[in-house]
A and B are shown apart, each in its own frame.
Chain A
Amino acid sequence: MGYDRQFLISLYQKMLMIRQFEERVKFLFLEGVMPGTIHQYQGQEGIAVGVCSALNSNDVITSTHRPHGHAIAKGLTVASLLHELFGKTTGCCRGKGGSMHVGDLEKGMVPAIAIVAGGIPIATGIALAFKFRKEPRVAVSFMGDGAVNEGAFHEAVNMGAIWSLPVVYIVENNLYSASTPIFEMVRLKKLSDRAAGYGIPGVTVDGNDVLQVFETAREAVERARTGEGPTLVECMTYRITGHSRRDPCNYQPEAERKEALQREPLRRFGEYLLKGEFVDQAGLDEIRAQVDAEIECAVKSAMAAPDPKPEEALEDVFV
């Protein structure tokens, strides 16, 4: 397929930004300098980047307790995220949100919803607003595999379906709902089979192949934007870090883990770019240097930013 070289490189750059951001955050966290808890996105970068690259800047996403990748892919700066993770008022949610609630509606990302499936009705309501105002915009709800067993998933996907709302449901199936194997919790081979229950298309794709994700998302977004209603897209992937901080992942079988690492999306896409001669190793190294420099600069500014006044906690409950 004939992709523009710059486009392909931008996909790689965003995936690498997410990976390096998460690795840096993990280090900061283990060093004990970053407060809170973290749920990280390493291994799933192809999904956020593939999907968000199929969106316009005024399309809107909802995210989950694992939101850093979605935020970066939707255009939030790593600085606005790091300031938030450090609890500074200069962060994207002025320090009130933290890791699990990063977002910026002006960039098209609702503050992330850390209740499993909680973002699905919200994204569907955003789509309702777009349809109500006849705006050609699309909402996307990212969710983990565990979300398909929540009532909110059922209620919202059904409502999106009956009203043909411009919304796309993206299930990131990393095989584990926290530590519980998802396929012990559903009697299905594919989570996308759930779509049939709502009368909407469902498709399962290799979520570690950013271009396959992009193509699928582009089609689903186009359907949504042209009034044909929602699509349920299951992206198969694997979390190559813990569920949350200090999770040693003892529930992931060694062989499965090794095999998954072979298919992790960033290295795969890098190899694809090299093989197709879209870029050479020096080019990739240069991208990495730029990414690392941007992250380092953001880390420094976030750590240097002043802490909020404690009583600022009292603000922002009501307008």
Chain B
Amino acid sequence: MAHMTIAEALRQGLREEMVRDERVFCMGEDIGVRGGWGGAFTVTLGLENDFRNRIIDTPISEGGIFGLALGAAIMGLRPVADVQYGDFIFYAMDEVVNQIAKMRYMSGGKIRVPLVMRAPVGATGRGAQHGQNPEAIFFSVPGIKIACPATAYDAKGLLKAAIRDDNPVLLFEHKLLYGSKGARAESGTVDASSDIPSDDYVVPLGKAIVRREGNDVTIIATLLMMHRALQAAERLAQEGISAEVIDARSLVPFDWDLANASVIKTTRAILVEEGPRQGGWGAEIAATLSDTLSDYLTAPVQRVASPNIPVPFSPPMENFYRPDADRIADAARNLLGRGQQ
């Protein structure tokens, strides 16, 4: 047992998987340069010393990174390809959406694509092109699994599950949760560190977890918003509102069993995401809950998300953009007819 940040847990997970399976390798920008950073957020730091030919530094060619990773994956390797910031993955949209997501289907199910894609997300003082939460864009693409760890335990466990999965998996990691240290430390960091068991474990894709039990309202969130939801639940508890917080952990597949059971119990639901409200993954979950649980719901399903704007730079505007515990708590109060406090 050791206590680790997400960056450390991911690094250990990559190391263990590369030791366990010689088909696993990493490719990305600045991930293995000696004297470098171990990727933008230190996740691969030092791995190049032990896996010289399996930590592959690439040119600044995101389309090439994901396209090559696909080619290697269909030949039986298990690449872990990353971008420095999630926003950069748009340079590889053809590779991700047209090639990676569709390859197995177009082959009539003959080809397997064991490929992990890692993408740091979240508004973190970098403005519009280094802070987007693009989860929803890929949520609407059939053929890609999506995982969103909020804790170090889950980050390592989901990474391992993704590497061992025979399908493409996008792993969204939050910049404020990494706990990166040294020159790559982030201001405004939230502690997402965990005790990491010394034994091998995975967190299965498609399995959510109840982070806080409650009876009045179900709050479903991921990544940074899961931590904000826990803060909101704490405040609500002081007002006599019992909120259940579910960490979805995976968006695809989505754990409908756990979500449905919770919402049937509480009869109210709030979806919280950091990305824009319009077309967000929360919209899809909300619509489906409304359809399937209409006999149980006592209030319309609510969404808390950012406005439909690019991520602004100025800190006051960025804080306005990104949902916080207050907005989540307000949504819960409104659902319960308690108005704003």
Spell out A's residues near B (CB within 8 Å).
60, 89, 91-97, 101, 103-106, 110-111, 113, 115, 118, 120-130, 132-133, 139, 151-152, 154-156, 158-159, 162, 315-319
Q: Return the 6 tightest CB-CB contacts between A and B, nearest first.
A: A121-B67, A125-B71, A94-B108, A316-B109, A155-B64, A125-B68
In the docked arrangement, what's the CA distance between A192 and B138, Å? 37
Instruction: For A129, give its contact among B58, B71, B111, B112 (CB under 8 Å).
Output: B71
Q: Which residues of A contact B142 (CB under 8 A)?
A: 317
Q: Which residues of A contact B259 (CB under 8 A)?
A: none
| B61 contacts the other chain (CB 8 A) | yes
Contact B71 A113 (CB under 8 A): no
Contact A318 B70 (CB under 8 A): no
Q: Which residues of B contact A316 (CB under 8 A)?
A: 104-105, 107-109
Q: How far is the CB of A48 from chain B (nearest CB, A)?
A: 20
Q: How far is the CB of A260 from chain B (nearest CB, A)?
A: 32
Q: Which residues of A contact B70 (CB under 8 A)?
A: 121-122, 125
Q: Which residues of A contact B165 (CB under 8 A)?
A: 319
Binds A, one of B95-103, B187-195, B236-244: B95-103
Q: How far is the CB of A152 from chain B (nearest CB, A)?
A: 5
Contact A128 B71 (CB under 8 A): yes
Q: Which residues of A contact B99 (CB under 8 A)?
A: 113, 115, 118, 121-122
Q: Which residues of A contact B103 (CB under 8 A)?
A: 111
Contact A105 B110 (CB under 8 A): yes
What residue of chain A has the Cβ atom nearest to residue B68's Cβ?
Answer: A125
| B77 contacts the other chain (CB 8 A) | yes
Contact A105 B59 (CB under 8 A): no
What residue of chain B has the Cβ atom nearest to residue A165's Cβ?
Answer: B68
Instruction: For B61, give its contact among A94, A155, A315 (CB under 8 Å).
Output: A155
| B2 contacts the other chain (CB 8 A) | no
**Residues of B63-81 whose CB lies within 8 A of A:** 63-64, 66-77
Query: What are 22 contact pairs spanning A and B, CB under 8 A?
Result: A92-B108, A93-B108, A106-B110, A111-B106, A111-B111, A118-B67, A118-B99, A122-B67, A122-B70, A122-B71, A125-B67, A125-B71, A125-B73, A126-B71, A152-B94, A155-B59, A155-B61, A156-B61, A156-B68, A316-B108, A316-B109, A319-B167
| B134 contacts the other chain (CB 8 A) | no
Q: Which residues of A contact B74 (CB under 8 A)?
A: 105, 110, 122, 126
In the docked arrangement, what's the CA distance between A294 and B94, Å? 38
In the docked arrangement, what's the CA distance between A264 and B171, Å? 51
Spell out B's residues near A (CB within 8 Å).
25, 53, 58-59, 61-64, 66-77, 94-95, 98-99, 103-112, 142-143, 145, 165-167
Q: Which residues of A contact B53 (CB under 8 A)?
A: 132
In the docked arrangement, what's the CA distance between A46 and B175, Å? 53
Instruction: For A132, give its contact among B58, B59, B77, B107 (CB under 8 Å).
Output: B77
In the docked arrangement, what's the CA distance between A120 and B70, Å? 11
Instruction: Select the residue from B61, B72, B99, B145 with max chain A CB neighbours within 10 A.
Output: B72
Q: How far is the CB of B91 from chain A (nearest CB, A)?
A: 8
What residue of chain B has the Cβ atom nearest to residue A151's Cβ?
Answer: B63
Contact B68 A159 (CB under 8 A): yes
Given A115-B98, A159-B59, A317-B143: A105 in contact with B107 (beta carbons within 8 A):
yes
Contact B64 A130 (CB under 8 A): no
In the docked arrangement, what's the CA distance between A152 and B110, Å? 25
Given A121-B71, A152-B63: A317 in contact with B104 (beta carbons within 8 A):
yes
What residue of chain B has the Cβ atom nearest to residue A112's Cβ?
Answer: B106
Count of A-B contacts judged by CB separation below 8 Å = 141
Contact B59 A162 (CB under 8 A): yes
In the docked arrangement, what's the CA distance between A87 and B52, Å? 46
Given A111-B107, A319-B167: A132 in contact with B72 (beta carbons within 8 A):
yes
Q: Which residues of B contact A152 (CB under 8 A)?
A: 63-64, 67, 94-95
In the docked arrangement, what's the CA distance between A139 and B61, Å? 20
In the docked arrangement, what's the CA distance between A151 and B63, Å? 8
Contact A121 B59 (CB under 8 A): no
Q: How far is the CB of B28 from chain A (nearest CB, A)?
A: 13
In the docked arrangement, what's the CA distance between A156 and B167, Å? 23
Instruction: For A118, give its contact among B73, B94, B112 (CB under 8 Å).
Output: B94
Q: Which residues of A contact B61 (CB under 8 A)?
A: 154-156, 158-159
Q: How far is the CB of A147 from chain B (nearest CB, A)?
A: 12
Q: Which residues of B contact A318 (CB under 8 A)?
A: 104, 143, 145, 167
Given A155-B61, A158-B64: A317 in contact with B77 (beta carbons within 8 A):
no
Contact A125 B72 (CB under 8 A): yes
Q: Which residues of B contact A122 (CB under 8 A)?
A: 67-68, 70-71, 74, 99
Q: Which residues of B contact A151 (CB under 8 A)?
A: 63
Q: Given contacts A129-B75, A130-B75, could you give 11 more A-B pairs where the C-beta distance is less than 8 Å?
A: A92-B108, A93-B106, A113-B99, A115-B94, A118-B95, A122-B74, A128-B68, A129-B71, A156-B67, A316-B108, A317-B142
What residue of chain A has the Cβ atom nearest to residue B64's Cβ?
Answer: A155
In the docked arrangement, what's the CA distance between A91 and B106, Å? 12
Q: How far is the CB of B218 from chain A (nearest CB, A)?
A: 27
In the docked arrangement, what's the CA distance between A120 and B88, Å? 20
Contact A155 B63 (CB under 8 A): yes
In the docked arrangement, what's the CA distance between A87 and B100, Å? 22
In the docked arrangement, what's the CA distance between A124 and B75, Å? 12
Q: How far is the CB of B144 from chain A (nearest CB, A)?
A: 9
Contact A96 B107 (CB under 8 A): yes
In the docked arrangement, what's the CA distance between A128 and B95, Å? 16
Q: How far is the CB of A306 from chain B (nearest CB, A)?
A: 15
What residue of chain A has the Cβ atom nearest to residue B104's Cβ?
Answer: A316
Instruction: For A104, give its contact among B68, B76, B110 (CB under 8 Å).
Output: B110
Q: Which residues of A contact B106 (CB under 8 A)?
A: 93, 96-97, 101, 111
In the docked arrangement, what's the CA distance between A128 and B64, Å? 12
What residue of chain A has the Cβ atom nearest to residue B98's Cβ?
Answer: A115
Instruction: For A126, give its contact among B63, B72, B109, B110 (CB under 8 Å).
Output: B72
Given A129-B76, A155-B61, A319-B112: A120 in contact with B105 (beta carbons within 8 A):
no
